[in-house]
Amino acid sequence: MIEVQTLSVRFGGIKPIDQLTAALTAPVSGLIGPNGAGKTTLLNVLSGFVRPVEGSVRLDGRPLLPLSPLQRVKAGLRRSFPTEQVVEDLTARDNLFAIADHVTAPGARSRTTDRALDFVGLRSVAHRLGARLNLFERRLVELGKCLIGTPRLILLDEPAAGLTDEEGARLRDLVLRIPSEFSAQVIVIDHDVDLIRAMCSETLVLDYGRRLALGPTETVLADPDVRRAYLGEL
């Protein structure tokens, strides 16, 4: 469970996160909001790339903010980005193995890498260079990297960007299996409301850095304030 308490971030005179309090407890939670709502800033705070001016964050009861980004990774935090971060002159397997170097004991690196490869379905292209992978395979490499070691919180930032409907559905099915097979919580940012609805049992909506709504996804998406702010409805 991730708990955020009175969190604020300031960039000069701008507050992209403003007194945010929320607890996300579902196995797969959504994070949505209009452009500039503070979604990426919140992920950057969780990742350790941005330091808040006030507030606290706890992961399974443990304070997260005192930890460096590397310490957070070792504590089980994983993240993907809207643009896949695949090293093109490494094989698919070696892209995952490079993460294992930092978060697992030497004797466990091959085991955790192969488990992640099998889970995302990349075993058949494990020795293909990153430069030769198609977009869907690159997205699967990103997801596989999040599964290395012992993940506890996985932050997926637009994981289905650029994918076809069929590929998006396959990715969705993989994400839904993560909590039971890896005992990790997943938070998903995506502009595709249908994908959020299909993936996430609860959703947090941000607007101007503040919490607009939090609750069961269907209830949140039906909220008139959410529909006005996020879906542009009057």
With contact defined as beta carbons under 8 Å apart, do 45 and 216 qualify?
A: no
Euclidean distance between CA atoms 164 and 90, whole angstroms: 26
pLDDT at position 114 over 90:
yes
Q: What is the dihedral of CA 210, 211, 212, 218, to 10 degrees?
A: 150
pLDDT at position 52 over 80:
yes
Token pair of 170, please?
């396959």
pLDDT value of residue 227: 87
Question: In terms of C-beta density within 10 A (0-12 exposed, 13-18 middle, 19 or more buried), how is residue 213 classed?
Answer: buried
What percent of the chain lies above the pLDDT cut of 70? 98
Per-residue pLDDT, averaged over 58-85, amounts to 92
Confidence of residue 231 (pLDDT cuts 50, 70, 90): low
Tens of pLDDT along 72-111?
998 999 999 888 889 999 999 999 998 888 888 788 889 9
pLDDT value of residue 228: 83
pLDDT value of residue 55: 95
Per-residue pLDDT, averaged over 162-189, amounts to 94
pLDDT value of residue 101: 83
pTM: predicted TM-score of the whole model, two decimal places: 0.93
Q: In the beta sheet, which residues pair with residue 7? A: 20
pLDDT value of residue 113: 93
pLDDT at position 234 over 60:
no
Neighbours of 177 (CB within 10 A): 11
pLDDT value of residue 217: 96
In the block, tokens 């500039």 appear at: 36
Token pair of 63, please?
């304070």
Average pLDDT over the chain reads: 92
pLDDT value of residue 27: 97
